[in-house]
Amino acid sequence: MNLIRSLALFSFTAVLITSCSQALVEHTCTDACEHGEHQYAHGEQGHTCDAQCEHIRAKRN
């Protein structure tokens, strides 16, 4: 289940990264959010960038 959640979050994050502008968007819950613990995607309010964001940005450029 964690793998599916991670894949869903990664896919959603990839979409946001390729289409996101400078403005942050409100969080939209996905299957990755569970029991009140939200998984904020890149570009969403509440997200904190980490090494995965840097890796994706480096691949895009």
**Please, what's the b/e burial string for 44-59 (b: 16 or more CB within 10 A of its CB; e: otherwise)?**
beebeeeeebeebeee
Residue 31 near residue 4, CB atoms below 8 Å: yes
Q: What does the alpha-carbon distance between residue 44 and residue 8 come to, in Å, rounded to a whole number?
A: 15
pTM of the model: 0.48
Residue 28 near residue 46, CB atoms below 8 Å: no
Per-residue pLDDT tens over the stretch 5-57: 666 666 666 655 555 446 889 998 988 888 889 988 888 899 888 888 888 77
**Token couple for 16:** 């946001």
Domain residue ranges of the chain, discontinuous segments joined by +: 2-60
